[in-house]
Amino acid sequence: MAQAPEQTAPALGKDLLGLEELSRGQILSILDTAERFKEISVRPVKKVPALRNRTIVNAFFENSTRTRVSFEFAEKRMGADTVSISTSGSSVQKGETLVDTARNLEAMGIDMVVIRHSSSGSARFLAERIPSNVINAGDGKHEHPTQGLLDLLTIRDHRGRIEGLKVCIVGDVLHSRVARSNIHGLKRLGAQVAVCGPATLLPAAVAELGVTVFRRIEEAIEWADVLNVLRLQLERMKSGFIPSLREYNRVFGVTRARVEAGPRDLLILHPGPMNRGVEIDSDVADGPHSVILQQVTNGVAVRMAVLYLLSGGRAEQAEAVKQGGDP
Amino acid sequence: MPVHRVDTAVRAGLSFRVLHPLPHTPAPAVMSDSQRRSVMDTAAVERALARMAREVVERTGGTERLVLVGIHRRGVDLARWLADEIGRTEGVQVPTGSLDITLYRDDLMVVGPRPVVGRTELPDGGIDGQQVVIVDDVLYTGRTVRAALDELADFGRPRRILLCVLADRGGRELPIQADIVGAQVPVPEGGRVEVLVPGTDGSLGVEVVGGNG
Amino acid sequence: MSARPVLIRGGRVVDPSQGMDAVVDVLLVDGIVARIGEGLDASAETEVFDASGLVVTPGLVDVHVHLREPGGEHKETIESGARAAVAGGFTSVVAMPNTDPPIDSPATVGYVLAAGLRAGLARVYPSGCITLGQKGEQLTEFGELAAAGAVCVTDDGRPVSSAGVMRMALEYALTFDLPVAVHCEELTLSRGGTMNEGIVATRLGLTGVPNASEDVMIARDLLLAQLTGGRLHVQHVATRGGVEMIRAAKARGVRVTAEASPHHFSLTDEAVEWYRTDAKMNPPLRSAADRDAVREGVRDGTLDVIATDHAPHHYDEKEQAFEDAPNGIVGLETSFGVAFTELVEKGVIDLATLVDRMSCTPARALGLPGGTLRAGAPADVTVIDTRAEWTVDAAKFVSLSRNTPFAGWTLHGRAVRTIVGGATAWSAEAR
């Protein structure tokens, strides 16, 4: 075994609840670790024993095929034992409270919980009540930190850096946990961030997060190096936030004509699932600017990195790191 | 490397997993030069490496299907050095690779802070049917080599695997022995061997640090 | 309630109803204030309470409490709530009608009244619903409710969404001179929000309730009060816009009284950070500018009543994700301490003004007996140690519930004896 003092990554703490509470050093450490882990997914045996004998529960109280599958791949490639529960198969529908669900899982001797839940703050709620590591896989409209991280990794892959880049988040920022995680992560790494969408879908006081607000997509494209196009939930029309999908596409849609009219070679991300022809046109989604499929690939690597960095850490040391901010 | 014990504490009605350092764990200390002792200078290491390169070729019967895989970090530098040496004497550039065994460590889940994971990069041709020489700087407990063997097995089925180390300090905890050794380096209790390589340390040499000897 | 006469001797009597702030004695006989003045003599049977160094005020009145009975007895009962009231120095409380079933009939009004009398602690005055089942549609029988003992009508917790219904409620209440107490909220603007709209809500990913949700409704109800000449009582004003509009309405002679809640003049939406459900209430905690406007409203009398909106909830109900937890906090046992510490000690108002906002004006606003220590008034007295320093420990609450955002706060000022109808209902030494 190597004998000299080894290099260690900055501790993340017990849980990953959001990017707002991570330092620049912690975020970079996750990205650098994910960079190493990309290679595992192309090995003949796509599996390492790093999390051998660790039991992870994917508790998805809200539908999400893609995030759940991505976590499951990441867990299995790290050698963990995993169980996934979703709303239809859980006792949540029988009126069991979140805290009882958590305690039951804990009583079965698990090490980590990946939680997706429709209530903002639910991941923190769980994390404060059980000793297992908790990873937020999307809590209401709050954060989706692993999505934010994979977006950062994808941007860095293509532009070589995050610092100084101009990134505009387009669409339904109001309801988007992806937007919040992106804003915190991008700002922490020194990007300039903007949001663009109809005012009905932008949160109050969003500028106080340190972002620029564009009313029109043309202005956003004129400004940006990177567009992160959010999914427009179709029910937003029924709730009256926008009058029609058709008009949304006309006014805010990321179309080929708009992208090509821009002054720069844009990089275009989308967290998926896409509504083709609504927030993004197919020839953009499938075109040369799009890195959407690479986001999916990077998602597995980022989640492997998060699983690795959270495992085995010491809570009190991690808290000290968090209190101290950037190392 | 600090050793930790997994324990469970009950605090405020909740149990938290905490890792206590074992009391006898020596804290990593910065050793002053007076506690360093050179056991191989640059010339000695160069001579040893030249001999090891020859031994590799002898043991593998030439450079046919030969792959040198260094263990991150200093093993990687040494593997490249050996490959260059073989290139000079045999006129063939032997493919090299790097292996980071962190994710295969048997103590990974009990150590506290997460080790930084290095690059694993095997030659394009892979290792199936190859004669793979694992190169590392120091051989001690044998646990790193055990991890390396496991990791290599996930990349393919080499025809043969050899172990080549610059310094063997003894103290094995697993039934693993090196095939090619630069030097036997006895180490006093509490001390350690440090191999210096130009790519990482700026010089070439082997030193014994600390200990009560 | 005919107990031994009580002579409260040597206390600093602060009674704004008669402009009094002096060290005098107060003699309580047969449930009424018999005499007030210097050097009163005590007969042999009189209990003499040495109040030197203490402050003696007319009994505190809280016109906005949720006692949860009937239907929510796991949160609070009329008895436990009345006990929490006297522990906080309150001699009278007005119970909100949003129980299960709601207090919308003479029978249910009578139930609350009887349970309050049975408890024999603070005086419990029932309120009745404005509309049947608080549905905002058909008016309740205001006359019957008043005759049964309701002191006001309110759909508290829910707004009366129809302006037409509200107009009729204000007009119909004129016959009985009943105040109409209103929870002002435009639900289509609140949009299911769970906290103040602003940067904190945006960061936490919680749907925000804009100030306009409250302001629009306050504006509407002030206009309707002006139109009808009805008695409007605006509950728990939390916005600067609301304070300004009420101030202007009072200036033009609209009959309106208005409440400030201790949490709205002492906290902002930052208390919600980390998704603290004990800081979730409706109307929500708002910005520092709103908090300051509420303080100013209390100071200049625009908000003439301090009321707690005491809203107990069971531990399990608050132990949920923020959006799933119910609104409301308990307030009876912290109200005076928070108000004294945040308003008097910080120089916003003097002690006499605080007593006015917590006793005299609330009694007057809803036409309750009390709120004064004039001879002949009910012998409802609160004796306060304004020098007492104490730390809020929810585990020690008399209330059945613990949901307070003030846990751990160090407060100054606490009731040491609460006398209702001449009988001691609470005494700090007796605990």
| Catalytic positions of A | 66-67, 94, 116, 144
C137 contact A CB<8A: no
d(CA C396, CA A164) in angstroms, rounded, equals: 54
* Chain B: closest CA distance from residue A241 (Å): 44
Candidates C197, C199, C204: best to mutate against A (most CBs of A within 10 A) is C204
- In chain B, residues with a C-beta closer than 8 Å to the C-beta of A32 are 116
C407 contact A CB<8A: no
C203 contact A CB<8A: yes
Query: Do A100 and A233 fall into the same domain?
Result: no
Candidates B5, B10, B15, B17: best to mutate against A (most CBs of A within 10 A) is B17
C321 contact A CB<8A: yes
* Chain C: closest CA distance from residue A119 (Å): 6
Report in angstroms the alpha-carbon separations of B95 from A136, B63, B71, B165: 43, 10, 15, 18
- In chain A, residues with a C-beta closer than 8 Å to the C-beta of B151 are 48
**Interface residues of chain B, partner chain A, Cβ below 8 Å:** 1, 14-19, 28, 100, 102-104, 108-121, 126, 138, 140-141, 143-144, 150-151, 154-156, 192-194
Does residue B196 form part of some domain? yes
Residues in chain A: 327
Q: Can you say whether the dihedral through the CA atoms of A31, A36, A37, A42 is positive or negative? A: positive
Does residue A13 form part of some domain? no
Closest partner CB to C205 (pick from A99, A177, A204): A177
Question: Which residues lie below 8 Å from residue B164, measured CB to CB, with a gap of 6+?
Answer: B52, B55, B56, B82, B133, B134, B135, B136, B178, B179, B180, B181
Taking an 8 Å cut-off on Cβ atoms, the answer to whether B109 and A54 are in contact is yes
Task: Reply yes or no on whether the pLDDT at B59 is more than 60.
Answer: yes
* Chain C: closest CA distance from residue A193 (Å): 15
- In chain B, residues with a C-beta closer than 8 Å to the C-beta of A3 are 1, 138, 140, 192-194
At A86-98, the pLDDT tens digits run: 875 445 555 567 8
- pLDDT number for residue A92: 55
**How many of the other CB atoms lie within 10 Å of CB of C393?**
11
Is C224 exposed, middle or buried, given 0-12, 13-18 or 19+ CB atoms closer than 10 A? Answer: buried
- In chain B, residues with a C-beta closer than 8 Å to the C-beta of A51 are 109
Taking an 8 Å cut-off on Cβ atoms, the answer to whether A33 and B116 are in contact is yes
Closest partner CB to A120 (pick from C319, C320, C323): C323
* Chain C: closest CA distance from residue A177 (Å): 7
Task: Reply yes or no on whether the pLDDT at A268 is more than 50.
Answer: yes
- pLDDT number for residue B33: 53
- pLDDT number for residue C1: 45
Query: Do A172 and A210 fall into the same domain?
Result: yes
- Closest residue by Cα to residue A297 from A30, A26, A37, A33: A37
Taking an 8 Å cut-off on Cβ atoms, the answer to whether A122 and C321 are in contact is yes
- Closest residue by Cα to residue C108 from C132, C85, C137, C92: C132
Query: Do A80 and A187 fall into the same domain?
Result: no
Query: Do A140 and A156 fall into the same domain?
Result: no
For residue A77, give the chain B residue with the closest CA. Answer: B103
For residue A128, give the chain B residue with the closest CA. Answer: B14
Taking an 8 Å cut-off on Cβ atoms, the answer to whether A120 and C206 are in contact is yes
* Chain C: closest CA distance from residue A205 (Å): 5
Query: In the structure, what pLDDT confidence band is assigned to residue A7 with cuts at 50, 70 and 90?
Result: confident
Does residue A323 form part of some domain? no
Query: Do A260 and A192 fall into the same domain?
Result: yes
A244 contact B CB<8A: no
With H, G, I as helix, E, B as strand and everything else as coil, classify residue C203.
helix
Number of helices (H) and strands (E), helices first, in chain C? 14, 18
d(CA C423, CA C5) in angstroms, rounded, equals: 9
Does residue B24 form part of some domain? no
Query: Do A101 and A210 fall into the same domain?
Result: no
pTM (predicted TM-score): 0.90
Contacts of A among chains (3+ CB pairs under 8 A): B, C
Task: Reply yes or no on whether the pLDDT at A155 is more than 90.
Answer: yes
Q: How many domains does chain B have?
A: 1
Q: What is the mean pLDDT of residues A214-232?
A: 97
Query: Do A164 and A127 fall into the same domain?
Result: no
A and C: number of Cβ contacts within 8 A: 70
A and B: number of Cβ contacts within 8 A: 105
Query: Do A156 and A290 fall into the same domain?
Result: yes
- In chain B, residues with a C-beta closer than 8 Å to the C-beta of A39 are 119-121
* Chain A: closest CA distance from residue C317 (Å): 10
Does residue A281 form part of some domain? yes
Query: In the structure, what pLDDT confidence band is assigned to residue A103 with cuts at 50, 70 and 90?
Result: confident
Report in angstroms the alpha-carbon separations of C256 from A20, C180, C248, C299: 45, 10, 11, 17
At C280-314, the pLDDT tens digits run: 999 999 999 999 999 999 999 999 999 999 999 99
For residue C323, give the chain A residue with the closest CA. Answer: A119
Task: Reply yes or no on whether the pLDDT at B6 is more than 50.
Answer: no
Q: Which domain holds residue B148?
A: 32-209
Structural domains present in chain C? 6-56+378-427 (2.30.40.10), 59-365 (3.20.20.140)
- In chain A, residues with a C-beta closer than 8 Å to the C-beta of B99 are none
Query: Do A237 and A309 fall into the same domain?
Result: no
Residues in chain C: 431
Task: Reply yes or no on whether the pLDDT at B211 is more than 80.
Answer: no
CATH number at residue B125: 3.40.50.2020
- In chain A, residues with a C-beta closer than 8 Å to the C-beta of C322 are 119-121, 125
pLDDT tens digits, chain C, 431 residues: what are they?
457 999 999 999 999 999 999 999 999 999 999 999 999 988 899 999 999 999 999 999 999 999 999 999 999 999 999 999 999 999 999 999 999 999 999 999 999 999 999 999 999 999 999 999 999 999 999 999 999 999 999 999 999 999 999 999 999 999 999 999 999 999 999 999 999 999 999 999 999 999 999 999 999 999 999 999 999 999 999 999 999 999 999 999 999 999 999 999 999 999 999 999 999 999 999 999 999 999 999 999 999 999 999 999 999 999 999 999 999 999 999 999 999 999 999 999 999 999 999 999 999 999 999 999 999 999 999 999 999 999 999 999 999 999 999 999 999 999 999 999 999 999 987 55
Taking an 8 Å cut-off on Cβ atoms, the answer to whether A4 and B192 are in contact is yes
- pLDDT number for residue A37: 96
* Chain B: closest CA distance from residue A190 (Å): 23
Taking an 8 Å cut-off on Cβ atoms, the answer to whether B144 and A37 are in contact is no
- In chain B, residues with a C-beta closer than 8 Å to the C-beta of A130 are 14
Backbone angles phi, psi at C79, to 5 degrees: -70, -50
Does residue B57 form part of some domain? yes
Q: What is the dihedral of CA C286, C290, C291, C294, to 10 degrees?
A: -130
Task: Reply yes or no on whether the pLDDT at A4 is more than 80.
Answer: no
Q: Taking a C-beta distance cutoff of 8 angstroms, is the pair C364, C371 a contact? A: yes
Closest partner CB to A44 (pick from B118, B120, B156): B156
Q: Which domain holds residue A310?
A: 24-144+298-316
- In chain B, residues with a C-beta closer than 8 Å to the C-beta of A54 are 109
C126's tokens: 């029932």
**How many of the other CB atoms lie within 10 Å of CB of B35?**
14
Judged by 3 or more CB pairs under 8 A, whether C touches B is: no
Taking an 8 Å cut-off on Cβ atoms, the answer to whether C203 and A209 are in contact is yes
Cis peptide before C70 (omega within 30 of 0): yes
Question: Which residues lie below 8 Å from residue C203, measured CB to CB, with a gap of 6+?
Answer: A20, A180, A209
| Chain centroid offset of residue C132 CA | 24
Does residue B164 form part of some domain? yes
- pLDDT number for residue C381: 98
Query: In the structure, what pLDDT confidence band is assigned to residue B212 with cuts at 50, 70 and 90?
Result: low
Candidate from A26-35, B111-120, B121-130, C48-57 with smallest mean pLDDT? B111-120
A129 contact B CB<8A: yes
A324 contact B CB<8A: no
* Chain B: closest CA distance from residue A102 (Å): 13
- In chain A, residues with a C-beta closer than 8 Å to the C-beta of C275 are 120-121, 124-125
Mean of per-residue pLDDT scores for chain B: 85
- pLDDT number for residue B24: 38
Query: Do A151 and A34 fall into the same domain?
Result: no
At B106-119, the pLDDT tens digits run: 888 888 789 999 99
Q: How many domains does chain A have?
A: 2
Does residue B115 form part of some domain? yes
Q: Taking a C-beta distance cutoff of 8 angstroms, is the pair C427, C33 a contact? A: no
CATH number at residue A95: 3.40.50.1370
| Catalytic positions of C | 309
Does residue A45 form part of some domain? yes
For residue A129, give the chain C residue with the closest CA. Answer: C319
At C129-170, the pLDDT tens digits run: 999 999 999 999 999 999 999 999 999 999 999 999 999 999
Question: Which residues lie below 8 Å from residue C17, measured CB to CB, with a gap of 6+?
Answer: C58, C356, C360, C371, C372, C373, C374
- pLDDT number for residue A320: 45
Report in angstroms the alpha-carbon separations of A39 from A35, A150, B95, B105, C49: 8, 15, 19, 18, 83
Query: In the structure, what pLDDT confidence band is assigned to residue B32 with cuts at 50, 70 and 90?
Result: low
Taking an 8 Å cut-off on Cβ atoms, the answer to whether B144 and A317 are in contact is no
Does residue A160 form part of some domain? yes
**How many of the other CB atoms lie within 10 Å of CB of B41?**
13
Taking an 8 Å cut-off on Cβ atoms, the answer to whether B109 and A312 are in contact is yes
A16 contact B CB<8A: no
Does residue B111 form part of some domain? yes
At A167-220, the pLDDT tens digits run: 999 999 999 999 999 999 999 999 999 999 999 999 999 999 999 999 999 999
Which stretches of C38-178 are assigned E, i.e. beta strand? Answer: 47-50, 55-58, 60-65, 90-95, 123-126, 153-154
- In chain C, residues with a C-beta closer than 8 Å to the C-beta of A177 are 205
Backbone angles phi, psi at C268, to 5 degrees: -125, 180
d(CA C396, CA C415) in angstroms, rounded, equals: 15
Q: What is the mean pLDDT of residues B123-152?
A: 96
Closest partner CB to B112 (pick from A51, A309, A313): A313
d(CA B104, CA A75) in angstroms, rounded, equals: 15
Residues in chain B: 213
